[in-house]
Structure 1
Amino acid sequence: MIDWNRMWQEARRRKTWQRKTSEDWNKRAAGFARRHKNSVYVKEFLNRLPLSAGMSVLDMGCGPGTLTIPLAPKVREITAVDFSPGMLEILTAKAAEGNLNNITTRQGAWEDDWQALGLGRYDLIIASRSLAVDDLKGALDKLRRAARGWVFIGDRVGSGPFDPAMFAAIGRPFHPGPDYIYTINILYQMGIHARLDFIDLPPAHSYKTREEAISSWAWMFHDLTATENDKLNRHLSERLTKNNHGHWCLRDEVCPSWALISWRQTTHQHD
């Protein structure tokens, strides 16, 4: 039998991009929150959740509350977990601003002991674009054990948020690493027949300033040299155009999409 978890680990070792540390995400927290607040992905993800007012929810890898904040008024309680204190600070500030008192935050990671974090069982678990882990099977098993209802995962398709053309422009090779197909196959080997859907995103990005556009793409690269930075600036300058509202727009060469993986955990599926 194919060991999909081992294949996932091998594919991750070949990938070009590096996993972001907690400090990396602290630096990106404010910009990330601003860019994703009203994204098509967020709206589509939320629209597909089977919500009810009495639900308890776990948002694993919650970031700055991109999904937590709009979900909070629709459910009984949410536990939001992230390993970046900077992200959790923004989430907490947003919750206070919106007078949302049903959100509990926990600083923690997939690899941590969830019981030690105070995590229990939940009616709905969401893990949106947060499964950048070495032991994918272990992470999925934690979701399974913590679920007493639905689990929804937002997972990468192909190159995901990365733009291969930008790697080519600065002269770096690009290996995207594993995507959703590994997740689906590991779940299958765990006895979970998950549903698979896709969220297609618009091909254009809009930015208020040229500088914002450049910084929003520079995050893809680790340790840019001065020469590489110049090449990236030239490449983006060639692709950026101004719209009628005075905003800078960049059109993707390939229309990006995300996989939406879901299943309903039943009592007999637990060990």
Structure 2
Amino acid sequence: MTLDDIDFATLYREHLRQAGRAPKPASDWDRRAGELNRSSQASRYASDFIGRMNLDGARTLLDIGCGPGTLALPLAARLERVYGLDFSAGMLACLAQNAQEQGLGNVQGIQRAWEEDWSDVPVCDIVVASRSGLVEDLADALDKMNRHGRLRAYMTQLVGGAFSEPEIAALLGRQPRRLPDYLYTVSLLHQRDIHPRLDYLETRNRLGGTRDFEAFAQRVAWAFGPIDADQRVELQRWYQVDPERARSGGAPMRWAFISWDIPSRR
């Protein structure tokens, strides 16, 4: 058996199924839109991401899973047209408000999920999927990126398959299987005769950025589901051991920064 004999698309779907991750509906992201909008301002992650991009020859960009505009808005100042695609109406409302406040008239929101029909989504010079690629069908998502891009694509995917601090999961007695990470993306691109470039970014994990225990407990409940009284006691004990580390959410996360040239259309 060689790599070419492996059905990575099916393997990815099976790995995701076994991990038991229930995708959060758009309404959950709507509720968090305001919080994420505030935390995304002046993001080091965004500057690190954009600093690795090549915009030569590009006039338009499609940002898939754009959120409140963490990448789309800084890039809009350097391009003629930017489209922000997201399935959350709340995120797109933040995008529109932020664009207006920054005097950016070249930003357009599109409410759409990865799984929906994209026949009316514009084809752009650059396609970006930042931390938005944990989808049910990764092969289809990559094909959509290639169909809707002309020059280059940029994507960040998990390294190691865990969003949150493993200590917290153990503390709550929840040890889900690790999610599929960036190696599936690299493998699926390889099978399409695309040989991507690979780099890494580091950020605090999704439990980070809280000011006190109450906010931290709410963040944990959003990430892991409801916590009972006993779990809350254990969580507070963990928090009080090192509040500064707890406010950062524990160990940082690593993201694979994957970039490739869009195959020419013949």
Judge same fold: TM > 0.5, yes or no. Answer: yes
Paired residue for 2:259? 262
Q: For residue 191 of structure 1, report the CA deviation from its aligned partner.
A: 1.5
CA contact 1:160–1:258 (8 Å) conserved in 2: no
Note the residue ranges of structure 1 that are not aligned, 5 or more in a row.
243-247
Q: Which amino acid aligns with 1:92?
A: A
Mapping of 1:25-40 within 5 angstroms?
Answer: 25-40=29-44
Q: 1:70 to 1:217 in 2, by over 3 A?
A: farther
Render the CA deviation track for 1:185-233: whole Å, top value 9, x for unaligned: 0111112111111113369955444433333343211233343334333
Q: For residue 54 of structure 1, report the CA deviation from its aligned partner.
A: 5.3
CA contact 2:204–2:248 (8 Å) conserved in 1: no
Q: 1:194 to 1:78 in 2, by over 3 A?
A: same
Mapping of 1:209-248 within 5 angstroms?
Answer: 209-241=212-244
How far apart are the structure 2 equivalents of 1:167 and 1:110? 28
How far apart are the structure 2 equivalents of 1:9 and 1:68? 29
CA contact 1:52–1:75 (8 Å) conserved in 2: no
| Aligned partner (choices 92, 97, 100) of residue 101 of structure 2 | 97
Q: 1:162 to 1:142 in 2, by over 3 A?
A: same
Q: Which amino acid aligns with 2:248?
A: L
Render the CA deviation track for 1:87-111: whole Å, top value 9, x for unaligned: 1111111111111110011100111
When structure 1 is superposed on structure 2, of 40-49 and 200-209 the one drifting more is 200-209
Paired residue for 2:80? 76
Q: CA RMSD in A?
A: 2.2
How far apart are the structure 2 equivalents of 1:23 and 1:202? 24
Q: Secondary structure at the match of 1:166?
A: helix
Paired residue for 2:18? 14
Q: For residue 52 of structure 1, report the CA deviation from its aligned partner.
A: 4.8
When structure 1 is superposed on structure 2, of 38-47 and 198-207 the one drifting more is 198-207
When structure 1 is superposed on structure 2, of 150-159 and 39-48 the one drifting more is 39-48
Q: For residue 46 of structure 1, report the CA deviation from its aligned partner.
A: 1.1
> What TM-score do the two structures reach when normalised by structure 2?
0.90
Q: Which amino acid aligns with 1:240?
A: P
How far apart are the structure 1 equivalents of 2:96 and 2:107? 8
How far apart are the structure 2 equivalents of 1:100 and 1:207? 30
Percent sequence identity over matched residues? 34
Paired residue for 2:248? 250
Q: 1:225 to 1:249 in 2, by over 3 A?
A: closer
Q: For residue 71 of structure 1, report the CA deviation from its aligned partner.
A: 1.3
What is the aligned length? 261
Q: 1:216 to 1:29 in 2, by over 3 A?
A: same
CA contact 1:57–1:124 (8 Å) conserved in 2: yes
Q: For residue 171 of structure 1, report the CA deviation from its aligned partner.
A: 1.2
CA contact 2:210–2:247 (8 Å) conserved in 1: yes
> What TM-score do the two structures reach when normalised by structure 1?
0.88
